[in-house]
């Protein structure tokens, strides 16, 4: 009765071996390729570690890539975790730069702030939803559970699936501050913990409403708030109300390679990448 198990175990062992071999080959290739880059005479070198907001993560990765191709001896690693994680880890010295999609509060440690770009938060619905615009008051009443049906606000008579972010998220903080003000999101609302999941949920559910960072609007329909569409221009002029700054934070006054990277991001080349990635320039 154990023959199958044994042969399965053997198979697994084989796969593990192959996998190890593959990793070895990739590592060797990596070494050969990176040693080729050593000829570069560019001045900056070192490692930069970033973590924090998932709203900033995609654009930061693009910025890191561009910076890395200019300075091949600079190694940049970008991980997510959320704004609060970034702030904590930079304070504890685990990373060099924290990414935050919310302003620092008095509860946060004192850190140096470097605005990188701005971001709009789009309120999104399914592509099939006929509702194209809402007032701020309507959004508030949807998220407090007073309006429960699309029929009440010009859609088809179907129950609204309300999707929100988790407490602690920078996107949620901005939504709370700029839309909800002192009202509270009702506990029956669904809670998901990333822009990507909320976009997928709204794209799959014709009755859903959610809010995501502007860079994530694709396959879903952003609605106008008070008649203002969340376009790049409207965000830049801040006619659209849901605009926030996205920040890098550092523990000390940045120097060396870290200063180089931040200057690059805030400079013309960096801002061009910011705009291409769908974010609002400074």
| Interface with another protein, residue 55, by CB under 8 A | no
| Interface with another protein, residue 161, by CB under 8 A | yes
Q: Of the two residues 191 and 275, which places its CB atom closer to another protein in the complex?
A: 191
Q: Of the two residues 171 and 271, which places its CB atom closer to another protein in the complex?
A: 171
Region near another protein per CB under 8 A, out of 62-70, 82-90, 124-132, 258-266: 82-90
| Interface with another protein, residue 84, by CB under 8 A | yes
| Interface with another protein, residue 71, by CB under 8 A | no
| Interface with another protein, residue 104, by CB under 8 A | no
Residue numbers 4-33 binding another protein by CB under 8 A = 4-5, 8
Asked if 256 contacts 41 with a C-beta cutoff of 8 angstroms, the reply is no
Contact characters 184-223, another protein, x per CB under 8 A: ---xxxxxxx---x--xx--xx------------------
Q: Give the up-direction half-sphere exposure of residue 149: CA atoms within 13 A in the CB hemisphere.
A: 5
Taking the CA atoms of 198, 117, 262 and 38 in sequence, report the sign of the dihedral they define: positive
* 116: helix, strand or coil: strand
Asked if 171 contacts 101 with a C-beta cutoff of 8 angstroms, the reply is yes
| Interface with another protein, residue 103, by CB under 8 A | no
**Any residues with CB less than 8 A from the CB of 136 and at least 6 apart, and which?**
179, 225, 226, 241
Q: What are 135-139's contacts with CB under 8 Å, separation 24+?
A: 135/225, 135/226, 136/179, 136/225, 136/226, 136/241, 139/179, 139/225
Name the site residues for another protein (rule: CB under 8 A). 1, 4-5, 8, 81-82, 84-85, 88, 107, 161, 166-169, 187-193, 197, 200-201, 204-205
């Amino acid at each position: 009765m154990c023959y199958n198990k044994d042969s399965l175990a053997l198979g697994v062992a084989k796969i593990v071996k192959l996998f190890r071999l593959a990793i070895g080959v990739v590592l060797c290739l990596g070494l050969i390729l990176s040693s080729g880059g050593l000829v570069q005479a560019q001045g900056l070198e070192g490692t930069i570690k970033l973590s924090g907001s998932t709203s900033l993560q995609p654009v930061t990765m693009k910025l890191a890539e561009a910076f890395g191709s200019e300075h091949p001896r600079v190694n940049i690693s970008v991980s997510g975790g959320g704004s609060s994680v970034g702030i904590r880890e930079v304070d504890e010295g685990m990373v060099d730069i924290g990414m935050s999609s919310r302003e620092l509060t008095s509860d946060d440690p004192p850190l140096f702030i470097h605005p990188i770009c701005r971001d709009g938060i789009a309120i999104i619905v399914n592509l099939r939803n006929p509702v194209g615009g809402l007032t701020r008051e309507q959004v508030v009443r949807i998220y407090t559970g007073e309006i429960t049906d699309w029929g009440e606000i010009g859609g088809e008579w179907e129950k609204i699936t309300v999707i929100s972010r988790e407490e602690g998220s920078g996107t949620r903080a901005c939504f709370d501050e700029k839309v909800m003000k002192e009202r509270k999101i009702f506990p029956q609302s669904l809670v998901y913990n990333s822009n990507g999941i909320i976009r997928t949920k709204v794209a799959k559910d014709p009755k859903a409403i959610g809010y995501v960072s502007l860079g994530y609007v694709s396959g879903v329909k952003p609605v106008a708030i008070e008649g203002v569409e969340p376009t790049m221009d409207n965000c830049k002029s801040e006619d659209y109300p849901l605009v926030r700054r996205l920040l890098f934070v550092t523990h000390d006054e940045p120097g060396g390679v870290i200063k180089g990277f931040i200057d690059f991001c805030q400079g013309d080349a960096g801002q061009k990448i910011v705009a291409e990635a769908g974010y609002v320039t400074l």
